[in-house]
Copies of this chain bind each other. A is one copy, B any other.
Amino acid sequence: MASAKSKDALFEAIAVMGKAFASPRRLELLDLLAQAPRTVDELARVSGQSTANTSQHLQALHGAGLVTRAREGTSVRYSLANEQALSLWLALRDVSVNQLAEVERAARDYLGEEVDAIGREELIARMRKGDVVLVDVRPSDEFDAGHIKGAKSIPLQELEDRLAELPADREVVAYCRGPFCAYAHEAVRRLQAAGREARRLEEGWPEWRLAGRAKKRSRAA
């Protein structure tokens, strides 16, 4: 049998990936990359850190194999490495939410009052009936990088100005980045304030996308 040293090396290598998940800043970057690929500079600006620091964190994520990078002219664009990486990040996040009471409290605090939500299955059924209109309230560049089929892009800031684009006789379903993103909550509150019937989608774009792919795979198999 091989020496115990080799076994330790295994755990050490796995811990590299654990370490990648051990810093709030890195998690924030990962969360942003789950929406759309971005350059170092963009990430630095959005997350409010220095460029050098952002670059370092991205290198840590790269070292763990969670992100890939590609040079584009003078800048470097980082992306989530693959579906596994996304899936792992979402799993970690979900388990944390279930297990750490603090997280839940923090989430409630951040999201404000809870608003009515609609699940994946129900949305699909009601969209098929043409019963609802689905609105993506994220910034438009994230919409461009990928969105739910049939959704209309109305960034949160433009919501009031573009109310006319939404048929008044149909319920509006809003979605954004995911369960911790406040955009959809806020959108629903504003829509209701404007006299519309509105709910938020329970999940965000990354979760939707992943669930859709899993379904495609199982159909293929």
**Distance A23 CA – B12 CA, assembled complex (angstroms):** 7
Contact of A103 among B13, B31, B95 (CB under 8 A): B13
Specify which of A27, A91, A99, A107 lies most central, judged by the most chain B CB atoms within 10 Å of its CB: A99
Q: Is the CB of B18 within 8 A of A18?
A: yes
- Closest residue on chain B to residue A103 by CB atoms: B13
**Given known contacts A18-B27, A27-B18, A88-B91, A13 and B109 CB-to-CB distance under 8 angstroms:** no
Cβ of A166 under 8 Å from chain B: no
Dominant secondary structure at the A interface: helix
- Closest residue on chain B to residue A28 by CB atoms: B11
Shortest beta-carbon distance from A217 to chain B in Å: 15
Chain A: interface size category: 35 or more
**Distance A8 CA – B24 CA, assembled complex (angstroms):** 7
Q: Is the CB of B15 within 8 A of A22?
A: yes
**Distance A18 CA – B21 CA, assembled complex (angstroms):** 5
Contacting residues of chain A (67-104) with chain B, CB-CB under 8 angstroms:
81, 84-85, 87-88, 91-93, 95-96, 98-100, 102-103
Q: What are 13 pairs between A and B in contact, CB < 8 Å?
A: A1-B182, A7-B180, A9-B106, A9-B110, A12-B24, A13-B103, A14-B103, A15-B21, A17-B92, A18-B92, A22-B22, A66-B99, A88-B91
